[in-house]
């Protein structure tokens, strides 16, 4: 009997939607060829790193054409089987090139083929001899003297970069001190787990919380999705913490996904404070070394809890016991470029594969999750009271039709601001548009300054005297006269946060104002400084964009003003209404969280709009019912499934030509029960100099849709028109 050949099926970083087969490198024992190891392989004329996805015994490529892998980069898998399973599923479900899927999950160092060893760094510290030494004996060596002085207060030592930061380069002095035996060094893991803070802050749970924790813990060994619904401040985080605390005592790990760590440092701090366990934090501001260290800490089980943003769903955790998605409705869980996955949906799949509970928490659950509760796929856990002493705020609409608005503020809003500030409280104004004004218009001829590369207008940023395109980042100085008629009477039109801030300064010259948006928080640390200023009471008036809507607790804010609710009512996006309602409620959740009652005022030109009145009179669940009914009527998610094929090109015609061909191709397969809509130009057809168009597939059965995709997508690559465009597939798009 002949033994079947061993063929390695690899994920290779390539835009092609397929794996690549190789013969094993010479002399590698069969048992080392475990899925999840990396190999160095020839690819075209290059050499690249590939990941072993499967070992197979047959290849569509004939044996004499198969190339041989050069060598193994790993002795043991860097991707554990559980993560491999998720990656494989994601590749199939999203019909995305496996190489891109696998490699987007890895830290940069591992993508580059560097060893999967925790990065080490060296700490330098004084030896007992160095500590006892007389500084005066170093009078002739001032650099050494400085070094000794620098190291004295740090018994645990300093890193080379910390020393360099303080003293500049001083390698030779360091060497002399080592030679004298005054300084020792030690290698340490970069991600040495920080000591958890000792102070314990466990609350006595209220009845709802107790029921939630008990139910979660009862489901520990099985796949079970939960929707934990409760307004901001109802104690959801406390439920996560106490459930995690129990689960990790059984040596299992917890994965916690949150929308944006930069905006919510308090959450991480609270986890550290309350859980007596090592926590790895994964977010976009980590260096490559730090990311690798956190990844390995998770993989090797040294981290009991991993907290991270969207991409942390790819953390290798071999003893995963629970997954938590906080603010599950948040749009940031959907990756909107490249590999367009949804971390919430992947979390459900990961929990299913691992047979563990998954908790989706929100005050304003996505329509998807509410529908899943209705269909009894998810169990609902409700927290019906606010945990602390706070009361639910009062909400009122302000009809601003034909009212004078100054800097976007109506007389009633101004009066309320005066009242609340006069009582020594804080107020928050919300406007989801940064900059000074969305457009610059010529008062003489009506010309509005457009972006040269997008079908969009330039936004005025007065503080920097510039025009900025929020879509492609183009930036010009403010023109001094109209580009069309040369009249100098150019006026900003519309409203942005910068303008509101300017207006507030004239209304309340004595009050310190914090503007929180992407413009004011670009520098690392400024957001934190501002938030601290809000907490300390330095700032009493806040104006900001949706950055304000996320997870902060401001106990002294008693007034929340929504300056423009209409923005969300008439958006072209099918989720505009859902997002508006969620945003308004999230912002509202900031008010009255101390023991002072809160007030919420919403400015609108459409006080009779059914979504707004439903929100004010009956709350979010009622709005969700109206929206679900709308979605049912058009067969849109969650009551129908969508796939969007996008194309873009420098040439205006190419995207439509490609999509027409794609449409025709789709009709040649069994597309029964699937509606093809379009192709049509994208809502903003030109962006950053590219023309964009899209074809929408809608179906009532996910299985049918997936079956069509499996046949259709591989063929798209071969269409002649595909060569003239860049195209991408968005399975379950969140916006169109």
Provide the annotated binding site for Zn(2+): 442, 445, 451, 454, 469, 472, 482, 485
| Contacts of 276 by beta carbon, 8 Å cutoff, 6+ apart | 196, 200
Query: Which listed option, ligand ADP, Zn ion, none, makes contact with residue 469 (CB within 5 to 8 Å by class)?
Result: Zn ion
Contact between 203 and ligand ADP (CB under 6 A)? yes
Distance of CA 397 to the CA centre of its chain: 32
φ, ψ for residue 463, nearest 5 deg: -60, -35
Select 103 or 554, whichever has its Cβ closest to ligand ADP: 554
In sequence order, what are the residues at sequence separation of 6 or more whose Cβ sits closer than 8 angstroms to the Cβ of residue 292? 107, 108, 109, 110, 116, 118, 119
Among 23, 55, 205, 268, binds ligand ADP (CB under 6 A): 205
Instruction: Report the relative pairing of strands 183-189 and 253-257 from DSSP bridges.
Output: unpaired
| Contact residue for ligand ADP among 35, 118, 230, 316 (CB under 6 A) | 230
Give Cα 339 to chain centroid, integer Å.
Answer: 14
Report, in Å, the least distance between residue 230 CB and ligand ADP.
5
Residue 435 CB partners (closer than 8 Å, separation 6+): 459, 460, 461, 468, 470, 496, 497, 498, 519
Which of residues 144 and 234 has its CB atom nearest to ligand ADP in the complex? Answer: 234
- Is there binding between residue 469 and Zn ion (CB under 5 A)? yes
Question: Smallest distance from the beta carbon of 362 to ligand ADP, in angstroms?
Answer: 9
We find the least distance from the C-beta atom of residue 308 to Zn ion, in angstroms, to be 32
> Which is nearer to Zn ion, 460 or 585 (by Cβ)?
460
| Residue 4 DSSP symbol | P
474 binding Zn ion? (CB under 5 A): yes
The residue (of 209 and 582) whose beta carbon lies closer to ligand ADP is 209
Which is closer to ligand ADP, CB of 414 or CB of 584?
A: 584
**Among residues 85, 160, 206, 728, which is the contact residue for ligand ADP, using CB under 6 A?**
206
Q: Do 95 and 729 touch, CB atoms closer than 8 A? A: yes
Told to check if 387 binds ligand ADP by CB under 6 A, we report yes
Q: Is 385 an interacting residue with respect to ligand ADP (CB under 6 A)? A: no
Q: Least distance to ligand ADP from the beta carbon of 269, Å?
A: 12
Candidate list 114, 453, 518, 704; residue touching Zn ion; CB under 5 A = 453
Question: Torsion angle of alpha carbons 201, 202, 208, 211, nearest 10°?
Answer: 160
Of 332, 735, 340, 337, the closest CA to residue 568 belongs to 735
Quote the tokens at residue 543. 């104006």
CB of residue 451 vs Zn ion: minimum separation in angstroms? 3
Shortest separation between residue 235's beta carbon and ligand ADP, angstroms: 3
Count other C-beta atoms under 10 Å from residue 101's C-beta. Answer: 22
Q: Decide if residue 555 touches ligand ADP (CB under 6 A).
A: no
235 binds ligand ADP (CB under 6 A): yes
CB closer to ligand ADP out of 535 and 609: 535
Largest CA distance in the chain: 91
Residue 387 touches which member of Zn ion, ligand ADP, none, C-beta under 5-8 Å by kind = ligand ADP
Q: Which of 14, 59, 232, 366 binds ligand ADP (CB under 6 A)?
A: 232
**Contact with ligand ADP (CB under 6 A): which of 21, 74, 238, 328?**
238
Q: Do the beta carbons of residue 591 and residue 558 sit within 8 Å?
A: yes
What are the DSSP E strand ranges found in 190-294? 224-230, 253-257, 279-282
Q: Which residues of 452-582 form beta strands (DSSP E)? A: 459-461, 466-468, 475-477, 490-493, 513-516, 541-544, 557-562
Q: Which residues bind ligand ADP (CB under 6 A)?
A: 203-206, 209, 230, 232-238, 387-388
Binding site for Zn ion (CB under 5 A): 451, 453-454, 469, 471-472, 474
């Amino acid at each position: 009997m002949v033994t079947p050949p061993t063929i390695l099926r690899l994920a290779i970083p390539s835009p092609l939607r397929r794996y690549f087969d190789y013969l094993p490198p010479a002399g590698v024992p069969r048992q080392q060829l475990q899925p999840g190891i990396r190999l160095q392989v020839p690819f075209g004329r290059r050499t690249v790193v590939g990941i072993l996805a499967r070992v197979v015994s047959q290849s569509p490529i004939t044996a004499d054409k198969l190339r041989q892998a050069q060598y193994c980069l790993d002795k043991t898998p860097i991707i554990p089987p559980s993560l491999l399973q998720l990656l494989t599923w994601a590749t199939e479900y999203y019909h995305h090139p496996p190489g891109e899927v696998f490699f987007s999950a890895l830290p940069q160092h591992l993508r580059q083929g560097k060893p999967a060893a925790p990065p080490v760094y060296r700490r330098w510290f004084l030896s007992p001899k160095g500590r006892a030494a007389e500084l005066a004996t170093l009078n002739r060596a001032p650099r050494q003297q400085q070094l000794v002085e620098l190291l004295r207060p740090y018994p645990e030592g300093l890193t080379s970069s910390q020393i360099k930061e303080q003293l500049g380069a001083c390698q030779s002095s360091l060497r002399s001190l080592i030679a004298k035996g005054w300084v020792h060094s030690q290698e340490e893991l970069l991600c040495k787990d920080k000591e958890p803070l000792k102070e314990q802050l466990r609350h006595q749970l209220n009845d709802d919380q107790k029921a939630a924790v008990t139910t979660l813990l009862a489901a520990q060994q099985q796949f079970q999705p939960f929707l934990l619904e409760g307004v901001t401040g109802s104690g959801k985080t406390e439920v996560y913490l106490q459930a995690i605390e129990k689960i990790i005592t059984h040596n299992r790990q917890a994965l916690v996904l949150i929308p944006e760590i930069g905006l919510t440092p308090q959450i991480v701090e609270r986890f550290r404070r309350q859980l007596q366990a090592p926590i790895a934090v994964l977010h976009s501001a980590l260096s490559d070394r730090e990311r690798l260290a956190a990844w390995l800490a998770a993989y090797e089980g040294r981290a009991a809890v991993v907290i991270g943003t969207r991409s942390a769903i790819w953390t290798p955790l071999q003893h995963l016991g629970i997954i938590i998605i906080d603010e599950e409705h948040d749009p940031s869980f959907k990756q909107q470029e490249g590999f367009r996955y949804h971390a919430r949906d992947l979390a459900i799949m990961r929990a299913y594969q691992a047979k563990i509970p998954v908790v989706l928490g929100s005050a304003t659950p996505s329509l998807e999750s509410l529908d899943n509760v209705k269909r009894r796929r998810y169990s609902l856990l409700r927290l019906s009271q606010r945990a602390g002493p706070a009361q639910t705020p009062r909400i009122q609409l302000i009809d601003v039709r034909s009212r004078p608005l100054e800097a976007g503020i109506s007389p009633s809003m101004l009066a309320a601001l005066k009242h609340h500030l006069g009582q020594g409280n804080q107020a928050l104004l919300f406007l989801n548009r940064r900059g000074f004004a969305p457009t610059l218009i010529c008062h003489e001829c009506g010309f509005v300054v457009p972006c040269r590369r997008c079908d969009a207008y330039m936004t005025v940023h007065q503080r920097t005297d510039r025009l900025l395109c929020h879509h492609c980042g183009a930036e010009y100085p403010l023109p001094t006269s109209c580009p069309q008629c040369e009249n100098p009477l150019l006026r900003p039109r519309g409203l942005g946060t910068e303008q509101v801030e300017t207006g507030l300064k004239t209304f309340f010259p004595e009050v310190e104002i914090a503007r929180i948006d992407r413009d004011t928080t670009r520098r690392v640390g400024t957001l934190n400084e501002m938030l601290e200023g809000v907490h300390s009471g330095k700032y009493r008036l806040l104006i900001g964009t949706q950055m304000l809507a996320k997870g902060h607790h401001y106990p002294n804010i008693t007034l929340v003003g929504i300056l423009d609710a209409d923005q969300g009512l008439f958006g072209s996006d099918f989720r505009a209404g859902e997002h508006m309602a969620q945003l308004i409620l999230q912002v509202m959740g900031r008010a009255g969280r101390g023991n002072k009652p809160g007030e919420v005022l919403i400015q609108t030109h459409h006080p009779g709009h059914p979504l707004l009145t439903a929100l004010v009179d009956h709350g979010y669940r009622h709005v969700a019912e109206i929206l679900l009914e709308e979605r049912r009527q058009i067969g849109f998610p969650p009551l129908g499934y969508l796939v969007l094929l996008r194309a873009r090109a420098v040439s205006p015609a190419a995207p439509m030509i490609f999509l027409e061909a794609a449409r025709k191709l789709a009709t040649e397969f069994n597309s029964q029960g699937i509606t093809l809509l379009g192709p049509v130009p994208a809502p903003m057809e030109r962006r950053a100099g590219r023309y964009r168009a899209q074809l929408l597939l809608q179906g009532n059965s996910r299985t049918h849709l997936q079956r069509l995709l499996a046949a259709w997508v591989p063929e798209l690559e071969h269409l002649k028109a595909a060569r003239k465009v860049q195209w991408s597939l968005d399975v379950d798009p969140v916006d169109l």
